[in-house]
Amino acid sequence: MNVTFLKWGAGSLALLVSAAGVTTVLAQDPSSSQSSPAAATPAAAAEKKADPSISQRKENQQDRIANGVKSGQLTAGETANLEKKEAALNKETRADRAANGGKLTSAEKAQVNKQQNQVSKQIYADKHNANTAHYGNNKVGQRRENQQDRIAQGIKSGQLTPSETAKLEKQQQGINKQVAKDRNANGGTLTASEKKQVNKEQNQTSRNIYRKKHNAATQGNAKPKQ
């Protein structure tokens, strides 16, 4: 009887016993296999992530808007308009990713970049035009400034999504228009009842800011909960 050790595949050993012309496989070492289904396709198990350039661009735009809100370079109306555009762009990007297994095609990336370029130019134009947020050295003005500072902080931290910010700034824009109209009708001042009304509306906005900053929605969420 002849006993021979042979190589099996890339390293497994098979013991062959030959007797009377009959060859039998006695053993094979299964642990020596160099490949497995899991090891062969590591990319398939990897988590799909957003394109870093797209994500970074979005974050950069939001930081610029937040700085403009904080400094007063962006009015509530300008901010609402910018964030409405950002919200629409984010919605479009999510839809494209959902249709392509979590990824964007080269054409879609180019389109997103083009649209972000347009928003970027609009941010610059709005921050450098003649319109600024004038708060005034009074309780009403200080309250407005405080609200805007809270919104700016929420944008920068990611607690406020573009959609949430657009809605909050639209509310502020409405209050600002009302205040301006009342002042014009009263020689630049507000009556006691008008101040009370403004304060009531700002209280409502303040609660809304808090809720939106502390809900489950953040700038990284695909499906914000309102």
208 pLDDT above the threshold of 50: yes
**Cβ(36)–Cβ(45) below 8 Å:** no
CA 180/CA 131 separation, integer angstroms: 14
The per-residue pLDDT for range 40-55, each reduced to its tens digit, is 344 333 334 555 688 8
The per-residue pLDDT for range 82-97, each reduced to its tens digit, is 999 999 999 999 999 9
Residue with tokens 């406020």: 160
Give pLDDT, residue 50.
53
194-203: b (≥16 Cβ within 10 Å) or e: bbebbeebbe
Angle at the Cα of 145 from the Cα atoms of 144 and 150, rounded to 5 degrees = 100
CA 162/CA 79 separation, integer angstroms: 10
CA 84/CA 82 separation, integer angstroms: 5
| 204: nearest Cα among 163, 162, 167, 159 | 167
- Residues in CB range of 41: below 8 A, 6 or more apart: none
Lowest-pLDDT choice from 5-14, 55-64, 124-133, 154-163: 5-14
DSSP run (H or E) holding 48:
none
